[in-house]
Structure 1
Amino acid sequence: MMRHKTVAKIVLLVSAISTQWSVQADDKLAKILNKLEPNLFAPNTVSTSQFEYGSSLSPDGKKFAFVRALARFSHSALVITHKKGGTWQTPTLLPFSGEFHDTNPYFSKDSDTFYFTSRRPVEGEDKGIFKMWQVSYDGNKFGQPQLVPGKINGDHNVIYPTVHVNKDIYFSSVIKGSKGGMDLFMSKYHPEGYQAPIEISELNSTASDADPELSTDGKLLFYTSMRPGGLGHYDLHVSVKQKDGKWGKPINLGDKINSRSMDSDPILSADGNTLFFSSDKNPDVKAVKNYNELLQRQESIHNGLMNIYSVDITELNNYLRNNI
């Protein structure tokens, strides 16, 4: 009987220590999230009074591709800006974009392929579906778009695909049999063509989950979700890969990054320490006194259209890898 009591006490003590560590860890994480300072990325060049979202930074950090769109995502084109002397230059239209509804640009990690999704026509297939395309790229000149081979494309939309270092593709879509509205999927690379999409079931919820981006080492997955407990719309989250190979409980990135508006499209720099994302947050809402002030608000960067932000997440990266 005494032995059972001793064991019970040890279990309670271990549980108490574990709970205390969890509280301390949560407090530490909350402090880190509260210190994050997102800023408009390249204001008046990339982030403007127009509709910008869905970005990708080249591995060398000198090229930045993103989307310019019409309201309600009704049409969009891909543009690119180059960094010269520490300054981002006026964007230009990518040579293969403009005619069709193109979106979701992505530089491959080896810099020789550029990916995007598009509703451009494919003979014999539904014109309303976003499919994933690839373009050869030598750092200066783009080739001609070709469909990404294999089973990643189908009768489902491929939304916001990102390509890991091993060439596996992570994306979001609505595919029959998955959990919620929009869900997260992965398509494994094969030299003869991508394999059929696999649902990332441990992260999907009955709400919409979208826009996955995986860190280079494969340990962190950033995405956006409308799951309960957020701030009211799509919120950015991160999940840490566990020892069993599954993804851990999603962590909301907090109100320094997220807002009551749409916060989406997470993308990492090559070193993983800068997070880019899109948002239509409007922090400067104030009463206007006359028509001219109203026009000035409509023509300002914070006019309710999507913009692109960047934030240093070095401390968050270190904490997540060593403590979660």
Structure 2
Amino acid sequence: MSINKLYISALILMAIAPLSSAAKVPYHSEAAQTKAVIFAPGVVSTDAFEINTVFNKTGDKVLFARCTNDFKRCTMMESKFENDQWQIPKALPFSGGYLEADPYYNEDYSAIYFVSKRPIDEGGKETKNVNLWRAELTNGKWQSPEYLAHLSSKENDLYPSITSNGDLYYPSFRNNERKMYLAKKNGDSFDAPVALPTDMFGDNAKIGDSVVLPDGNTIIFSMRRADSLGKGDLYISKKINGKWTLAKSLGEKVNTKDHEFTPIVSPDGNYLFFTRIENGVGNLYQIALTAL
């Protein structure tokens, strides 16, 4: 095993060790123990353009987005695991008609944060860029989404993720830059977002969707850099002694000549889920982190 692979393995093991569980969950896959495989083919993963895969705490409900091939519209969907199989997905009751995607549960699974181009004001026009929204889940029913004005900008704000203590991380293209932002939880809201150091990305890197693991000390990036195999690869960085390490590629079991993005780690910490664009269409994949 190369030094780089040893490094990646160490980062992953440090990240998932507190979360691992021996019990099989609905998204368990024997095939994914050694390689990346399509998730729930024919039901969740279809011939349509699908992106990101996020689960509720028990793993028996999955949220994702199904998009038009031109990526102008995305609808957030939910599939339930019943009778030992994933069921035909249904659109979330408030989603449809706009580009909205990237759902991510908050720390107690009582709400999701997501991005959308839906009108900010009732009766208004859809926005030029995607920004941050929140929808609460109350007694099993989704409530009307709330626009998060103090976290959003006039540019694209992407792919929110939340740590176990409630801090919110997300990439943003504000100020003609691509940076990762942290908005620390403050009661029922958040402090103003602060940009993280960019040296973790490497030279001339262009980051996209990036997920922070619950411990707040590990980030998996979708990023294009000089060492990328394709249009976008997945990388990992770890915060050690308060400083983020230079992001390392997750390797050829994940990254290809195509475009890999929307990384998500399963609630039990055992699987990486991601999207791969192949022949112009997004497909949902999973792989056991121990395979990396």
Normalised by the shorter chain, which TM-score bucket? 0.7 to 0.9
> What do residues 265-289 of structure 1 show as CA deviations (whole Å, max 9, x unaligned)?
00011122111100024xxxxxxxx
Shift >4 Å, 4+ stretches = 29-33
> What do residues 201-251 of structure 1 show as CA deviations (whole Å, max 9, x unaligned)?
2324533112121222223211111011110211000111112x1111211
> What do residues 54-90 of structure 1 show as CA deviations (whole Å, max 9, x unaligned)?
2211111011000110123111111100011331100
Structure 1 stretch displaced more, 138-147 or 249-258: 138-147
Contact 2:52 2:273 in 1 (8 A): no
Contact 1:280 1:304 in 2 (8 A): yes
1:277-296 → structure 2 map (5 Å cutoff): 277-281=274-278
Structure 1 stretch displaced more, 263-272 or 24-33: 24-33
Instruction: Kindly indicate whether residue 25 of structure 2 is the aligned counterpart of residue 26 of structure 1.
Output: no
* RMSD over aligned Cα atoms: 2.5
Q: 2:270 aligns with which of 244, 250, 273?
A: 273
Q: Give TM-score, length-normalised by structure 2.
A: 0.83
Q: Secondary structure at the match of 2:4?
A: helix
Q: Distance in 2 between matches of 1:207 and 1:24?
A: 24
Question: How many residues matched?
Answer: 267
Matched residue, 1:175: 174
Q: Distance in 2 between matches of 1:66 and 1:103?
A: 7
Structure 1 stretch displaced more, 250-259 or 35-44: 35-44
Greater RCO, CA 8 A, separation 6+: 2
Gaps of 5+ in 1: 1-22, 282-302, 317-324
Matched residue, 2:281: 305
Q: Which protein shows a greater Rg?
A: 1
AA aligned to 1:198 is V
Gaps of 5+ in 2: 13-32
Matched residue, 2:251: 254
Q: Distance in 1 between matches of 2:49 and 2:207?
A: 22
Q: Distance in 2 between matches of 1:31 and 1:314?
A: 8
Matched residue, 1:185: 181
Q: Distance in 1 between matches of 2:126 and 2:99?
A: 14
Matched residue, 2:142: 142
For residues 31 and 190 of structure 1, do their structure 2 counterparts lie closer, same or farther at Cα, with a shift above 3 Å needed?
A: closer
Greater strand content: 2
% identical equivalent positions: 28
Contact 2:99 2:117 in 1 (8 A): yes
Instruction: Kindly indicate whether residue 111 of structure 2 is the aligned counterpart of residue 113 of structure 1.
Output: yes
Matched residue, 2:49: 51
Q: Distance in 2 between matches of 1:27 and 1:165?
A: 28
Greater helix content: 1
Matched residue, 2:210: 212
Q: Distance in 1 between matches of 2:255 and 2:72?
A: 24
Q: Give TM-score, length-normalised by structure 1.
A: 0.75
Matched residue, 2:15: none
Q: Distance in 2 between matches of 1:30 and 1:102?
A: 32
